[in-house]
Structure 1
């Protein structure tokens, strides 16, 4: 865990929210999203926070003015982000490129950035201050697709809050947009990587026909799975969580369960990652990626903590970025900023997962990763169209998304790289692998920060299992 229990308090003076349209006129047209973009699992607004220390050479320069100008210029190239979504037949999302603009806010904090310490890490208790939720802006259709807030601290440090409609872009895509914003804010005439729409590439044909199974979208079964301390059985029985999960934002903001949740972060440094690697080696397993090791560890520790019925089917879900794979017939441009990810799941009974060595989970993850090819992607797309654009299941499932390698911290609009950049949340059923705050310690670059949200007693079990698994090199 990376911080004590009580974060320091501070207040901010917030300007009136305003809409920033593109700097120059842009095409007025309707553009359909891809059939990966508009699935139910992506119909929410994704938050993120970037933190920057004061820079002497920028004294007297207003960061809000710099970013606002860069935003207006970037929206000329990324003009669909200045529009509004509407829903067509078969739940199809379409962008009305009307140039209304993105939401922009300026704020002043009455505290120095250094006072916040490691509380800038996900899950940041300051998200609602540094990324104000403008009333009426959180809808999927008819609302701004992008919200940016620039907060200045008394020391000259800066917080950049960015919230985007996930149906419009994935993590790589929003980083691409923000890099363009930075380039244009600092005098560039065009982005170094021009944006590409090209959503038809990831849309279904006239006669969609899924050819693969996609268990990640199957609702979990709770029949005959009762166990006295099974939190998810009780949560579904009392709150009907799977039904609630169909609401926008629920997957990442479970308001009904929020009062009983503990949200914190864990850091896996080189020693902890090596301990996991040593276990795989001791079990005569081959080379493992850092993602496989961490995802297997989290899946196993979380399943043990939640104490499901031993016969229950549990899943680990994770995205694969098609930009990083060579897939037949699905070559994407470097400027493609839409959702270029497909989800796949590793599946096991709870008993086998909990009782087996870590290599069991690693093997299941690897097998799921290897299923992704051109045919699988086309099948996912066709599945979305023929099955009403479903969402992933929340219960009996853990989503692990690695955003540590997309360059979030390298968003430089004149104040250098961010000292920390992350999703800022800990969500029940989902986590992000992030880089911790930069420091003089060279191990930071090789460390991974993991935000976790669990009910209190289950979090205590998770901590115990996590410590046991990452501090020992024995199987």
Structure 2
């Protein structure tokens, strides 16, 4: 019997307002929120199996809608609108248009028929599981949260959320969602962690000054090319030029392959064994990805290649001038880059790359955070460079896979989109493993993707 075609029937979009009157004001985001590369909307999914104890007792649509209305009283800026002011500065208007888009939907299959693996990035069902509101792709004058809850015939459901990254990072989103759970199913009258705005702490200094090196914003030398079969071809430069000529959607849609790879305990340990004893899993894995991706792209040996990653600064600011309150839900990370030549990266053991990553990470302190904020103001809010740069976004410890609305923890929780130049790390647990592993999502040209997979196999086998 042929499997059923997965279909979703959406109800009319609803606007969720704060349950009671909230403050009418205008607030600014911080300059760490207002980084050029954060002016995007990010999609996440959380998939929940049926909970027989809840069947017929609670409706996830009504429970989560109720929790949202209560939580928005405390998180009222999330129901506002962003506009761009002077010098590209983003401000949040919290007046009469306080609302969040919410779309109930029903699927025609059981969640197990769909398969939890199909929800991993790159999720092929995203367009069905997350309603695209017309004219909502920008970040200004648009709802800051879009939510779709899709119920499956088995009683399970998928909660899909698209949020404006300038308002909060994934850690802030988890804090908000936990509040929705506490105020909805949990029956609390206030969140256990009260939200705090306090965006002034991460704004630029009165006299902005760039006091640190920020290589992640520097464009690489485009004059050096890769060599394939005796011909000079720079894969990344070629993609950049095609993107300019034909548009990002056409070029990346046709020429880029999106894949995810899982690293369990065995694979992670095999990589760590090739690094120093005190090397963390993050340092070892990102070093492996950086080296293998660079080898697959085969840039000119003398070309500078970079690995950009995000560092959460909450702990690094503790005890300092800009210590953040526990309830702060804005963006609390800065980017930092490790850099070397392609030749040194590919010829040296993976421990070399891991050490560069650690050194870069150790440069992040209070002064570095303020230097990033000042750079945004002085340089017109630049974006991270793409050419010969791999950005790693680590979502493995944020808790999206632990948010419980009353149906238990999700089968999967994490980002579901993949884009060129970014490596997403998502928590993943294999049946045979006691501890969580990591799922890595990447996008590369097809030929390069094949070479990357071969490099990874050799790395795990200990040959590189």
* TM-score normalised by length of structure 2: 0.94
State the alpha-carbon separation in 2 of the partners of residues 231 and 261 from structure 1: 12
**TM-superposed deviation, 1:442:** 5.1
**TM-superposed deviation, 1:443:** 1.0
Name stretches of at least 5 consecutive residues in structure 2 with no aligned partner. Answer: none
Q: 410-419 or 97-106: which moved more?
A: 97-106
**TM-superposed deviation, 1:202:** 0.2
Match of 1:25 among 1, 8, 21: 21
- Taking the TM superposition and a 5 Å limit, the aligned residue runs for 1:31-430 are 31-60=27-56, 61-98=58-95, 99-117=97-115, 118-186=117-185, 187-225=187-225, 227=227, 228-240=232-244, 255-280=250-275, 285-326=276-317, 328-430=320-422
Deviations 1:408-431 (A, max 9, x none): 111111111001111012221112
Find out whether 1:465 has 2:461 as its counterpart. no
State the alpha-carbon separation in 1 of the partners of residues 224 and 268 from structure 2: 37
- Structure 1 contact 269–444 (Cα < 8 Å) conserved: no
State the alpha-carbon separation in 2 of the partners of residues 190 and 238 from structure 1: 52
**TM-superposed deviation, 1:237:** 3.0
**Deviation >6 Å, runs of 4+:** none
Name stretches of at least 5 consecutive residues in structure 1 with no aligned partner. Answer: 1-6, 245-249
Q: Which SS does the other structure have where 1:257 is aligned?
A: helix
- Structure 1 contact 435–444 (Cα < 8 Å) conserved: no
Q: 70-79 or 318-327: which moved more?
A: 318-327
Deviations 1:451-471 (A, max 9, x none): 111111111001100111113
State the alpha-carbon separation in 2 of the partners of residues 401 and 445 from structure 1: 21
State the alpha-carbon separation in 2 of the partners of residues 59 and 443 from structure 1: 31
Change (3 A) 1:8 1:165: farther
**TM-superposed deviation, 1:8:** 7.5
Q: Which SS does the other structure have where 1:265 is aligned?
A: strand
State the alpha-carbon separation in 2 of the partners of residues 224 and 457 from structure 1: 21
**TM-superposed deviation, 1:205:** 2.2
**TM-superposed deviation, 1:226:** 5.5
Q: Which SS does the other structure have where 1:316 is aligned?
A: strand
State the alpha-carbon separation in 2 of the partners of residues 452 and 9 from structure 1: 27
Q: Which SS does the other structure have where 1:209 is aligned?
A: coil
**TM-superposed deviation, 1:255:** 5.0
**TM-superposed deviation, 1:444:** 5.9
Q: How many pairs are equivalent?
A: 453
Find out whether 1:455 has 2:445 as its counterpart. yes
* TM-score normalised by length of structure 1: 0.92
- Structure 2 contact 226–235 (Cα < 8 Å) conserved: no
State the alpha-carbon separation in 2 of the partners of residues 326 and 83 from structure 1: 29
Deviations 1:384-409 (A, max 9, x none): 11111111111211111211111111
Deviations 1:329-348 (A, max 9, x none): 22111111001100000001
Q: 332-341 or 8-17: which moved more?
A: 8-17
